[in-house]
Amino acid sequence: MRKNNPIEKLFWSIAFPGFGQYLNGKLFKGTVFLVLEILFNVMGNFNEIIMLSFQGKVHQAAEAANYGWLMFYPCLYFFAIWDAYKDAGGEGSKYSFLPFVFCAYFVTVGLMYSTEVSIFGVFFGPVWLPMIAVIPGVIIGWLIRFVIIKFSTSS
């Protein structure tokens, strides 16, 4: 199995958790991620809420969502992405997992508040608000990584 392209594995995992693991030759792990993704997706009504959100029916999407199941999705999703990236050799620098971890945290919090928060009067719902939360997740993850590296090398 070709293991020299971590970005390729990262993007396949973004497309569908487990695909990056398959490309890395980790068939059991890939199957576990794939099965869990399908389970969380079906039980959380994720495909329906994605469709409704893309159609602009974000209030209907919020009503159709099963938040108890959807809450598992961000951690599984970002862990599967990081795992495929790491196994493909992308874990070259210290603490490179932190942006993935903080994305999982922020997207989970975004999902929790997605029924309550409007930004400038716009209700984003259970798909768009968590997606927006990726941005501060990446930024905070990189900042914390930078601070940890800076203080660990200066002492």
Q: Which domain holds residue 120?
A: 6-154
Q: What is the pLDDT of residues 51-83, one digit of tens each?
A: 999 999 999 999 999 999 999 999 999 999 999
- For the stretch 93-120, pLDDT in tens is 889 999 999 999 999 999 999 999 999 9
Which helix (H) or strand (E) segment holds residue 149: the answer is helix 125-154
Question: Could you tell me the pLDDT band of residue 155, with boundaries at 50, 70 and 90?
Answer: low
Q: Is the pTM of this model over 0.85?
A: yes
Distance, CA of 10 to CA of 21 (rounded, Å) = 10
Q: What one-character DSSP code corresponds to residue 6?
A: H
The answer as to whether 137 is a domain residue is yes
Count of domains in the chain? 1
HSE of 43 in the Cβ direction (CA atoms, 13 Å)? 13
- Residue 1 inside a domain? The answer is no
Q: How far apart are CA 17 and CA 41, in angstroms?
A: 11
Each residue's pLDDT tens digit, 11-24: 999 999 999 999 99
Encoding tokens for residue 8? 């390729």
Residue 82 inside a domain? The answer is yes
